Amino acid sequence: MTMARINSIFFCVLALLSLSVFSNTLAPGFFSYPYPQARVSPVERFAAVDMGGILFGARRLAADIAWIELLQYYGSPEEPLDRETEFKVSWDMARYLMGISGEKEESHKPGAEEEHYHFDITGGEYSGLYTRCLRVARLDPFFSHVYLYGAGALAWNQNRPDEAIKLLEDGISSIEKYSPSISKDIHQPFWQYHLYLSAIIYSKSGKYNEMTALLETAVRQPECPNMVKAILANIYQKNGKPRDALRLWIEIYDSKDPTYLNRSLSKISELRALAGL
C-alpha cells in the first residue's frame, strides 16, 4: 500500500471521527429517543453496509460515512477520476470537513492553487442524487444538512423540483413524528425545511420575486449550504446586482469550501470589475 493511500485513509478516518462526535453532541439536544425504526437503504449497493451500521448501533457514524460518499458523488465529475486526482479530492474534502486549513494564505490566490485539486460542479445528470440523500436520511432522520443541501441541488442545479419537494416533506414528517416539541425559531430544521419548500414551490410556479425573498432569508441561516448562496448570487448577477452577488461569493470563498474555491475566485474577480471596484 502506497504512502499516499495510507494518508488518504488516515485523513478520511479523522474526518469520520470528527463528524461522529459532532452528530452525537448535536442531535440529543433536539430529539427524543429511540431513533425511528430502521428502514432498508434506498440504494441497493449500500444496503448491507448500512444495515451493518444499524445492527452495530452506529447509525450516526454510518450516516456520516454515507454523507461523505454523497459529497464525493455529487462533487466529482460523473466520469471516473484517476488515482492521483481521487487522492487529492479525498485530502481536500477530509481537511474541509474537519475544519483544518493547513495552507498558507498565498495558496488561495489565483494561479497558486495548482498543488491541490479543487473541483467545480460543471453539470451532469447525477440520477442517484435523490436516493443517496434518502440513504443518509434513512440512517439519521435528523441529519438536517442533507435535506437542505439535497433539496437545493435537486431543485435549482438539477431542475428536479418534485424530488426536492419529496425530500423536504420526508424531513418535515420525521420532525413532526419524533421531535418532542417544535420551536418557532426559524434557525431550527423544521422551519428551514418549510422555507426551502416554499422557495421551491414559488420557483416551480414562476413566482421568482417571492422565491428570491425566501432565498435571501435562507442564506442568513447558519445551516445554509454554499450551493444555495451561489444560486442566489447568480440570481443577483442576472438581475443587475453585482455588489450583492459579490458579497455572497466572498462569503463562499471565506468558508474555504474546496468545492467552490476556483469558482468563487473567478466570480469575485468578475464581479469586482462589473461593480467598478
Mean pLDDT per 10-residue run, the chain (277 residues)? 55 56 48 59 77 79 89 74 56 55 44 41 76 92 92 93 95 84 77 94 93 94 90 94 96 88 91 89
How confident is the model at residue 211, as a pLDDT?
95
How confident is the model at residue 91, as a pLDDT?
54
Residue 35, SS3?
A: coil
Which pTM does this prediction carry? 0.70
Q: What angle do CA 17, 172, 20 make, to 5 degrees?
A: 5
- Cβ–Cβ < 8 Å for 71, 94: no
How confident is the model at residue 108, as a pLDDT?
44
- CA-atom Rg of the chain in angstroms: 19
Residue 200, SS3?
A: helix
Backbone φ and ψ for 103, nearest 5 degrees, come out as: -120, 150
Each domain of the chain, given as residue ranges in start order, spans 3-224
How confident is the model at residue 169, as a pLDDT?
95
Count other Cβ atoms within 10 Å, centred on residue 75. Answer: 16
Count other Cβ atoms within 10 Å, centred on residue 78. Answer: 12
How confident is the model at residue 162, as a pLDDT?
96
How confident is the model at residue 103, as a pLDDT?
47
List the one residue out of 222, 216, 206, 178 whose CA is nearest residue 30. Answer: 178
- Cβ–Cβ < 8 Å for 184, 171: no
3-state secondary structure 57-125: CCHHHHHHHHHHHHHHHHHCCCCCCCHHHHHHHHHHHHHHHCCCCCCCHHHHCCCCCCCCCCCCCCCCC
DSSP one-letter code for 256: T
The CA-atom distances, in angstroms, between 204 and each of 20, 129, 213, 217 are: 36, 20, 15, 18
